[in-house]
Structures are given as C-alpha cells and as structure tokens.
Amino acid sequence: MKPAPFDYHAPRSIEEAAGLLASLDNAKVLAGGQSLVPMMNFRYVIIDHIVDLAKVEGLAGISVTGAILRIGAMTRQRDLEFSPEVAQHCPLLREALSHVGHRQTRNRGTIGGSLAHADPAAEQPTVCAAHDAVIEIASARGTRRVPFAEFAVAFLTTAVEPDEIVTAIEIPLWPAGHGYSFHEFARRRGDFAIVGAAALLDLAPDQTVRRASLTLCGIATGPLRMTEAEQVLTGKRFDRGVAQAAAAAVKAITPVSDIHASAGYRRHLAEVLAFRALRDAAARCSARI
C-alpha cells in the first residue's frame, strides 16, 4: 500500500463535511483525487483524515443565471467539457479543458479540486483569472466569496483555510459573440503547461477592442493577468500590429526557471503564445449588431 494510513469520512451534507473539518486534526478534503492521491501515494502528504465530498448533496452542477455561470465544485471536468452551457457561454473553459490531463483523469477530476490544489500551470485557475471568477468557500463559520485575484496566494497555496471547503465557482460571462482562445505548450499532450495563455476579446463591429483579458500560466506561482498588455489593446482597432505590441508587453514578466524550462525560454513562449491566443480570439469574435 502506498499512502500512509488514514481514516475515511463520507459526509452527506456540506454542514456535516464542515463539521468534520472543524473538529478533526490534519484532515484534508478529497474531491476527484487526481492531484491529491498522487501526492499521498508519494507520501508527499500524510493525512490523518480524508473527508470525501463525493456523496455530499448539491455540490455538482452547472447553471446559468443572468450573466453568471455557476459551477458546483464537485462537477467533473469531463461533464464541463461536454456541457452545452459551458460551450455556449464560456467557450474558453471548454477549450482549456482539452489540455487538462487525459480523458481518464478528467472523468474523475473536479474543477473545485483543481482550484484548491492550485498548481501554477493548471488551466482551470487560469480561466478563473481570465474571467474574474468568484470562488465560494464554506465552513462551519459560514460562507464567503473570494474574488479569484485574492484566491491564489502562493505556490500550491490558496485562501482556503484548513477547515474550509470550495463549494462553487461563479464565472461572470462575456457578451455573446466574444472571442476566446487558449494556447499552451507542454512537452506531451496532457502534461502541465510550461507556459499557457488565455485570451478573451470583445470587439466592436469596426474591430475596436472594447475589452480585453490576457492571462498567462506556468510562469509564476499562479495565473497572472497581463494588465499592461490589456491596456495596449483596449480602445485600439485590433490588427496584427496591435496584437504583436500587446504580446511584446508580456516580456516584462520574470518567469520561474526550473528543470522543465529556463526563464528565458518561458519568456519567449509567453510572447509567442500570447500573440497566438489574441490572434485566434479576435478571429472568433463575431461582430454584433
């Protein structure tokens, strides 16, 4: 057996789950298990109590209310990938999911689990950053809502306290016909990105950029919004030159350097992928009446 011994709890409600986390020492939430269980098998983490959310009522589901897409934290990545609501309202998420692991891991992996794990190169947190998502977190002390910008705080560390549970993700939607694109470079398909880029564009019929969102992953401890590049774009007529100028603006970043890639290589990739994501997002904008 690989993991160290632990006790297993399978609560049926959020209240019960929150009560367990509030009362047990060294407890950890198990969602889809596709990040946590490898760490347990390696004994990178040794946990005394596993609180499995699989049987908790009401934690999975996808709904659209007004301009908000709400996703239950236990929604499996595979269900998001094939959701008509996601495809229609948040196509960036759908495109990003095709880079998340493999079909066998997406069948079990959840969006809430990916957010709580917060790998710096992970695609789902990147989409949350791009869309200014709000993360709903519950505990025995109550429920709070954290903007994504305050959610990822450090390497593999989020604003979620040990007694708290991510319960839902709320994604503010962009207008129908907006452009989107997710590009990433990984050594093998399904691996974590060395660098990834997510772009959202809202263009007027004359191609003027009303609003732009550009986010990179794999370069820092979490996804990074490229606000300078967004400023370069906003208010301009979108063309190749503007996209190149915006992509050049991302070179100001100081990427991490590790066994997978040097900082210089990541900086190069960041510019190339940012340009491709902006170019493809613009091509997908359908001029609105």
Partner 1 sequence: MATRSISLLVNGRRYEREVEARLTLADLLRHELALTGTHVGCEHGVCGACTVLIDGRTARSCLTFAVQVDGCEVTTVEGLAPAEGELNVLQQAFQDHHGLQCGFCTPGMLMTLTELLRDNPDPTESEVRDVLTGNLCRCTGYAGIVAAALEAARRLRVQQGS
The stretch among 47-55, 115-123, 142-150, 259-267 that binds partner 1 (CB under 8 A) is 47-55
Q: Is 87 in the site for partner 1 (CB under 8 A)?
A: no
Q: Is 113 in the site for partner 1 (CB under 8 A)?
A: no
The one among 58, 67, 102, 231 contacting partner 1 by CB under 8 A? 102
The one among 5, 66, 84, 142 contacting partner 1 by CB under 8 A? 5
The stretch among 11-19, 46-54, 85-93, 251-259 that binds partner 1 (CB under 8 A) is 46-54
Please give the full DSSP string across 138-203, using - where no structure is assigned.
Answer: EETTEEEEEEGGGTEEETTEES--TT-EEEEEEEEPPPTT-EEEEEEE-SSTTSPPSEEEEEEEEE
How many Å apart are CA 121 and CA 195, to the nearest integer?
Answer: 7
The stretch among 35-43, 62-70, 132-140, 248-256 that binds partner 1 (CB under 8 A) is 35-43
The minimum distance between CB 184 and partner 1, in angstroms, equals 14
How many Å apart are CA 126 and CA 124, to the nearest integer?
Answer: 5
The minimum distance between CB 71 and partner 1, in angstroms, equals 19
CB 166 within 8 A of CB 144: no
The smaller minimum CB distance to partner 1, of residues 5 and 142, is found at 5
The one among 26, 41, 63, 88 contacting partner 1 by CB under 8 A? 41
The smaller minimum CB distance to partner 1, of residues 6 and 265, is found at 6
The smaller minimum CB distance to partner 1, of residues 43 and 210, is found at 43
How many Å apart are CA 152 and CA 64, to the nearest integer?
Answer: 25
Locus of tokens 């992996």: 109
CB 111 within 8 A of CB 124: yes
Q: Is 156 in the site for partner 1 (CB under 8 A)?
A: no
For residues 8-27, which are near partner 1 according to CB under 8 A? Answer: 8, 10
How many Å apart are CA 236 and CA 246, to the nearest integer?
Answer: 11
Alpha helical stretches, state H, the chain = 14-23, 36-41, 77-81, 84-89, 91-97, 103-106, 111-117, 123-130, 227-233, 240-249, 263-284
The smaller minimum CB distance to partner 1, of residues 10 and 256, is found at 10
Q: Which residues bind partner 1 (CB under 8 A)?
A: 1-8, 10, 30, 33-34, 37-38, 40-42, 50, 52, 54, 78, 101-105, 107-108, 188-190
